[in-house]
A and B are shown apart, each in its own frame.
Chain A
């Protein structure tokens, strides 16, 4: 499952980078810990954080957290919304609707 989540994270990195107005994808706050793990285990590192939690009803929920840089050419709220829509569209259909998606703009560049 972890491998699947890592794979999904790597795919979402690319999906987000392709959204107009996105200039960068940054590591999420857990990035440093993940970097150390990535270096020691030599595994590819996704910048987008993907996790899965089991709900009280026994179902699973995906949680996606992305930290991005955006261009000042586009309105930041519009770019954030486009990114969240692109993430949801890239998720497996059975998980997309209930998934928790968090998009955080960390930089606006000229």
Chain B
């Protein structure tokens, strides 16, 4: 994936010494030769997961758009990457309850955002743009209530309302499984709609296929 040399793509990811552009190159090279500073860095791995998913989904989308001769361009892709680059940062620690007073168990805000993003992306036709978790504070009590705000890019194969509800359900289910947070509202805003049209070819006899 070719990224432009703007300030976001040259920022260091997770203190690894590698930028988003370099991570993209690493992914393109099949993660070989292995780079320990990337492979041992949680934020880099979360970023690579997102890049990999985005590549798959956007390639499919771009192929469809190319057929329809519309203009999904690099700006669109760059805006996604910029957002993801910002959101992979570990952020605050969200604690789990631990019975032993000398034990502290937690999940990072960045890991939760990536969980939400992956859940949304797993719904056919949906691509999560931004993801924010409102209500998380440092050392918040286990069981704190949060609100999730998502933006989506969608391929309109089913009604938007149906697709948004599917994303909400998937996100809620994953959050309940992997965190001890109380999930309040999951607000979904659709910011891009890509229409699916059937490509038709004129048949020699005059009919349409």
Contact = CB atoms under 8 A, between A and B. Distances in A.
Interface of A: 24-27, 29, 31-32, 35, 47, 67, 69, 72, 75-77, 80-81, 84, 88, 97-110
A84 B104 CA distance: 9
Q: Name A's interface SS.
A: mixed
A8 to B, nearest CB: 17
Pairs of residues from A and B, 3 with the lowest C-beta to C-beta distance, nearest first = A106-B42, A76-B178, A26-B42
Contacts of A81: 96, 98, 105
Contacts of A104: 93, 106-108
Categorize the interface residue count of chain B. 20 to 34
A107 B111 contact: yes
A59 B36 CA distance: 36
A84 B105 contact: yes
Contacts of A105: 106-108, 111
A75 B96 CA distance: 12
B104 A108 contact: no
Name which of B37, B42, B46 has the most chain A CB atoms within 10 A of its CB: B42
Contacts of B174: 72
A106 B180 contact: no
B107 A31 contact: no
B45 interface: yes
Interface of B: 15-17, 36-37, 40-43, 45-46, 49, 90, 93, 96, 98, 100, 102-108, 110-111, 114-115, 118, 174, 177-180
B43 to A, nearest CB: 8
Nearest to A68: B42
A25 B45 CA distance: 11
B138 to A, nearest CB: 13
Contacts of B37: 32, 35
B45 A102 contact: no
Nearest to A83: B105
Nearest to B96: A77
A17 to B, nearest CB: 12
A110 to B, nearest CB: 7
A102 B180 CA distance: 17
A31 B93 contact: no
Given A72-B178, A104-B107, A24 B102 contact: no
